[in-house]
Structure 1
Amino acid sequence: MAQRVVIVGSGSGGTMVANRLVRAIPEDVRSGKVEVVLIGAESTHVYQPGFLYIALGQAQPEGFKRPETDMLLPGVQWVPEAATKIDPTKKSVQVASGRTIEYDFLVLATGSVPDLDAIPGFREGGHSFYTLEESLRLRDALQSFDHGKLLLIIGVPHKCPVAPLEFLFMYDDWLRRTGKRDQIELEYTYPISRLHSLQPVSDWIDQLFPERNIKFQTFFNVETVDPVKKVVYTLEGEEDNYDLLVGIPPHVGAQVIRDSKLGDRDGWIPTDRLTLKVKGYDNMYAIGDATDLPLSKAGSTTHYESEVVVKNLVHELQGEKPVVLYDGKIYCFIEAGLDQATHISFDYNHPPEPSNPTATVHWFKLAFNEMYWLSLRGLF
């Protein structure tokens, strides 16, 4: 009887795991000894880091889309439906049509979504770039914004912790090139006592902000937004005005995780930081944004985690113990302007060390935007 690996979520993590697993055990898949099933409702795969470039008018949406079927290797059985309920006792996943799919091993790659309603008034009074629709709306707002104050607010947790910085640095550069910088004030806020959750990154931007005349506030946790008065109010009792409000809403885990009671109140899945197994379940893994691990919710996190999960799945499918551990490795590019970037690499035991931005790193970043489609197929 075939062993079945079911992967819930056809974003970056789910697609990578499915393709890597098929590539790792091609004979077992071809012979029917192992079935690799990917559950995900989206027929179009979207490269989400591209939203930043769209919002700033540097790219068009079409460049960041591919049909999901084009991303999957032969041998991956795609179920183009949303998962609605997971039952670990019965080892089954129910999809929107009512069909039930049983599994021997389960990988949860259900991701996260921005909660636009977490801050009352933000949906009506603010803009974001964490969905395609929002990035297009922000693009229009930025193109017509010619004077006043842009206020950036940040809710945590959220995908790609360096993206808010990239937005400000790239927008600042664009304003200078178009002669509008003197007419627009930029202000950055962050909810804790420093400018970023990673201390070395905070130290780095603490030097750059004064050079670029970007104002900032810390301990700034937005409670509500008044879209009529154009004022934000914080939990700390402060208020700040704006002419254009850009925000990164706090993110939450997938609805199916909450409905299945596999996560905490916000849908984050309790996950072992080394094995990436869901706590309490020997046959279940979680990767990427979906976990409750205090890591950057970034594409590279998912990339490196997928390698660990696939290697351990191969061991388990062959009746062996899983022995590969995740070391917390993460790699991030940071755009520091329209043609300059830096990068950081870190893990559980080594902090990031940002370097001076260069044009070379920027071009590497643009190249990776194209190479992403190869990484989905497990080619690197």
Structure 2
Amino acid sequence: MKIAIVGGGVAGTLTANYLAMRLRDEIREGKVEIRIFSEREHLLYEPGLLYLIFNRVEERDIKKDLKLLLDPGVELSLKRVKILDLDNRRLIFDDGSYDFDYLVIATGSRIVPEEVPGLTTTGHWFYNLEGALKLRNELAKFKNGRVIVSVIGIPHKCPVAPIEATLLLHDFFRILGIRKDVEILYTYPINRVFVMESVSNFVKEMFDEREIEYRTFFNPVAVDPDKKEIETLEGEREKFDLLIAIPPHKGSQVITDSGINEDGWVPTDKYTLKVKGYENVFALGDTTDLPVSKAGSVAHFQAEVLAENISAEIKGLPPTARYSGKAMCFIETSFKEATYIWFDYDTPPTFVKPNRFTHWMKIAYNRFFWMTARGIL
């Protein structure tokens, strides 16, 4: 029995490790093979990029060798999958193929800043390692002017990260003693500052307290590098000295190339996480088209469901686990305080008042994450 996992990010790594723990006897007896296919040798803890731009962590703190994180029962193949042939249960590479009995698609999402003219030459972002390192250097020398934090399209990874970045920018400039010399503008593409109304109202209060300006129905279509202006679909033009963008996102190119979905989002059952139309193909994490956050906690909860159901089927038991839409996100409101939100398909977000204890919980989890990736925590 061959279980193929495509994608060596958080979702794929967790699923592989959880499956290996549940199928240890079957692996030892040679009845089951778990193989993860990844183009990257390292796992990047992407929430750590937010701290990297403020020089609170180093690259080595948020990047680990994937081989060291995988259970010994998991085989790692550092190969690029070219096509997912779901009908024939086959992965196709440039130099061969691999037949599977079960497939887990964990191909994640990617930023496509090139889709906004001028953004790649003038804008900054922290949604990949290269961009975060460049932004860190830019923030280190920024002394005064107008900063725009602009969410360019949804969905995107870690939905609350732009809010955190905006609040931390305020605190960063305050600590440096230059907040009075810096104007901060946050923009969002719909009619409120966050998708969920209760979160939006909470965030607006924090922005108002900190004198952070915000605009809604703000959809950038181009960036003028010479004038340092953002042009929007609504006809607005906003000047900036530093543009921090959350670029448009798409799913993985292999999903598009395989004819599964043009934008790379995999049609997925919201409870079983089966790819629609297939019994032995599953998807989780950022790559799904589900109405849930593209966040690490979601991948974590989904991986538990998938591992339980796939291992149950292999053992001849009914797959009864269901994903409830559960998500949990920390929100850093300063360098000393944080809150968190918790919700699922049926329960709206709940908050706690920002406090120091929650902040230190988040800082602690940043260090403990590698235990989570190994399937221990």
TM-score after normalising by structure 2: 0.98
Q: Does 1:283 align with 2:284?
A: no
Counterpart pick for 1:106 among 103, 106, 116: 103
Q: Does 1:19 align with 2:17?
A: yes
On the 8 A contact 1:200/1:354 being kept in 2, the answer is no
Task: Measure how far apart 1:318 and its partner are.
Answer: 2.2
Q: Helix, strand or coil: the match of 1:110?
A: coil
Q: Does 1:374 align with 2:371?
A: yes
Question: 1:234 matched to which residue of 2?
Answer: 232
Question: 1:361 matched to which residue of 2?
Answer: 358
Q: Does 1:298 align with 2:303?
A: no
Question: 1:115 matched to which residue of 2?
Answer: 112
Q: Helix, strand or coil: the match of 1:342?
A: strand
Q: Helix, strand or coil: the match of 1:293?
A: coil
Q: Helix, strand or coil: the match of 1:233?
A: strand
* Superposition RMSD in Å: 0.9
For the residues of structure 1 that align with 2:216 and 2:360, how far apart are their CA atoms? 32
Task: Measure how far apart 1:198 and its partner are.
Answer: 1.3
Q: Does 1:73 align with 2:58?
A: no
Question: 2:335 matched to which residue of 1?
Answer: 338
Q: Helix, strand or coil: the match of 1:149?
A: strand
Task: Measure how far apart 1:172 and its partner are.
Answer: 0.7
Task: Measure how far apart 1:377 and its partner are.
Answer: 1.3
AA in 2 matched with 1:59? V
For the residues of structure 2 that align with 1:320 and 1:63, how far apart are their CA atoms? 41
Question: 1:189 matched to which residue of 2?
Answer: 187
AA in 2 matched with 1:314? S
Kindly report which structure 2 residues correspond to 1:107-256, keeping only aligned pairs within 5 A, or say none.
107-155=104-152, 156-256=154-254
TM-score after normalising by structure 1: 0.97
Question: 1:95 matched to which residue of 2?
Answer: 93
For the residues of structure 2 that align with 1:27 and 1:320, how far apart are their CA atoms? 16
Give CA deviations for 1:176-224 in whole Å, capped at 9, x if unaligned: 1110100000000000001100111101011111110100000001111
Q: Helix, strand or coil: the match of 1:170?
A: helix
- Number of aligned residues: 376
Give CA deviations for 1:360-380 in whole Å, capped at 9, x if unaligned: 111100111111111111113
AA in 1 matched with 2:188? Y
Give CA deviations for 1:231-288 in whole Å, capped at 9, x if unaligned: 111111111111111100011111111110112x211000010110000111100000
AA in 1 matched with 2:172? W
Give CA deviations for 1:290-341 in whole Å, capped at 9, x if unaligned: 0001111000000000000111101221234422111000011000011111
AA in 2 matched with 1:117? E
For the residues of structure 2 that align with 1:89 and 1:189, how far apart are their CA atoms? 43
On the 8 A contact 1:86/1:256 being kept in 2, the answer is yes
Task: Measure how far apart 1:89 and its partner are.
Answer: 2.0
For the residues of structure 1 that align with 2:368 and 2:22, how far apart are their CA atoms? 20
Give unmatched runs, 5+ long, in structure 1. none
On the 8 A contact 1:330/1:347 being kept in 2, the answer is yes
For the residues of structure 2 that align with 1:163 and 1:49, how far apart are their CA atoms? 8
Q: Helix, strand or coil: the match of 1:229?
A: coil
On the 8 A contact 1:340/1:360 being kept in 2, the answer is yes
- List structure 1 runs of 4+ shifted beyond 6 angstroms: none
Give unmatched runs, 5+ long, in structure 2. none
For the residues of structure 1 that align with 2:198 and 2:121, how far apart are their CA atoms? 35
